[in-house]
C-alpha cells in the first residue's frame, strides 16, 4: 500500500491493504469491519472485500485484505510462503493445540534440554505430513470443524503434505520455546506445536503466534484497524 486510497473508485478498481490483525478478532471480523467502513464512507451498496489467508482469533499479525477487482488475486497471494513467530509451551497439551481450550494433560519435562529442542526442529524441515487440528475453520460435511469439536464430536482427519522451509529457535525460556517458522500454504503452526511436543515426549501447545510475512509483504508495512479508519475518514 504505497499511498492510502482516496476514492471509492480506487477501492473498487482494487487495493491490497496490509492490516495488523488484533488479538481476539477472527479474519472474517477484520474483513467485515473494513468492508463496512468503506461502504459507509463512500455510501456504496456493495463492494467485494476478502482476505488471503486465515489467522486464528488468538493469533495476531499480517492479514492481507483485497478489495474490488483485486479479490481475484487472493488465491495468488495465498500460494506464497508465510513466516510466523511465536511461543510453544512444553509440559502439557490442549485439545485445540493452543489456548482456546485448557490444558488437559501434563507431562514430565526434566529430560528437556535446549540442545534436544534445537535438534528436534530438524525433524520438521522440508516436506512433512501434517494433520490439521480439529479446532479449525476447515469444513467436513458442510460444517466448520471447530463447531463439531465444541460439541465433542470425534472426526477422523486426513494428514496432508506441507513444507517447512525454516524452523529457527530464537530462545528457550524455561518451558517456553520462542521460534520463527517459514512455511508453505496450508501449514498449521498449532499442529507443529502439538507434534513438536510429541517428538519431545513432553507435550506442547501454541501459546502465542504472530504472522510477520506473506511473500514479500511484511508486517512493518501494515496498519491497525483504527489507523485504517482514521486514514479513510481524513
Cell output for 111: 529430560
Q: pTM for this one?
A: 0.93
At 96, give phi and psi (nearest 5°): -90, -5
- Residue 223's Cβ-side half-sphere holds a number of Cα atoms within 13 Å equal to 16
- Is residue 61 classed as helix, strand or coil in its secondary structure? strand
Count of residues in the chain: 234
- Structural domains in the chain, CATH included, are 8-79+217-232 (3.30.2350.10), 82-214 (3.30.2350.10)
Give the position of cell 511436543: 197
- Is residue 216 classed as helix, strand or coil in its secondary structure? coil
Distance from C-alpha of 33 to C-alpha of 21, rounded to nearest angstrom: 11
Let me know if 224 is a catalytic residue. Answer: no
Residues of the chain below pLDDT 70? 1-2, 136-138, 140-141, 144-146, 148-149, 152-153
pLDDT in tens, 169-181: 999 998 999 999 9
Query: Residues 56, 98, 195, 213: which is the catalytic one?
Result: 56
The per-residue pLDDT for 157 is: 77
The per-residue pLDDT for 229 is: 96
The per-residue pLDDT for 154 is: 75
The per-residue pLDDT for 134 is: 74
At 140, give phi and psi (nearest 5°): -140, 125
Distance from C-alpha of 128 to C-alpha of 130, rounded to nearest angstrom: 6
pLDDT in tens, 94-134: 999 999 999 999 999 999 999 999 999 999 999 999 988 87
Burial code (b: 16+ CB inside 10 Å, e: under 16) for 152-187 equals eeeeeeeeeebbbeebeeeebeebebebbbbbebbb
Amino acid at each position: 500500500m504505497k499511498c492510502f486510497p482516496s476514492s471509492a473508485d480506487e477501492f473498487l478498481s482494487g487495493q491490497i491493504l496490509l492490516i495488523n490483525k488484533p488479538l481476539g478478532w477472527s479474519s472474517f471480523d477484520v474483513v467485515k469491519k473494513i468492508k463496512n467502513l468503506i461502504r459507509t464512507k463512500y455510501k456504496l451498496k456493495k463492494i467485494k472485500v476478502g482476505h488471503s489467508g486465515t489467522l486464528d482469533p488468538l493469533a495476531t499479525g499480517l492479514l492481507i485484505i483485497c478489495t474490488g477487482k483485486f479479490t481475484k488475486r487472493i488465491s495468488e497471494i495465498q500460494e506464497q510462503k508465510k513466516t510466523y513467530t511465536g511461543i510453544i509451551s512444553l509440559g502439557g497439551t490442549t485439545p485445540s493445540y493452543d489456548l482456546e481450550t485448557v490444558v488437559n494433560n501434563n507431562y514430565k519435562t526434566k529430560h528437556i534440554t535446549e540442545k534436544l529442542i534445537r535438534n528436534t526442529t530438524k525433524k520438521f524441515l522440508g516436506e512433512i505430513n501434517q494433520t490439521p487440528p480439529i479446532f479449525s475453520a476447515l469444513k467436513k460435511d458442510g460444517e466448520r470443524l471447530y463447531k463439531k469439536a465444541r460439541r465433542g464430536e470425534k472426526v477422523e482427519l486426513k494428514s496432508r503434505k506441507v513444507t517447512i522451509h525454516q524452523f529457527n529457535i530464537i530462545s528457550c525460556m524455561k518451558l517456553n520455546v520462542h521460534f520463527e517458522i517459514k512455511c508453505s500454504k496450508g501449514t498449521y503452526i498449532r499442529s507443529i506445536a502439538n507434534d513438536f511436543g510429541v517428538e519431545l515426549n513432553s507435550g506442547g501447545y501454541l501459546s502465542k503466534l504472530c504472522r510477520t510475512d506473506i511473500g514479500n509483504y511484511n508486517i512493518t508495512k501494515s496498519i491497525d484497524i483504527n489507523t485504517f479508519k482514521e486514514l479513510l475518514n481524513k
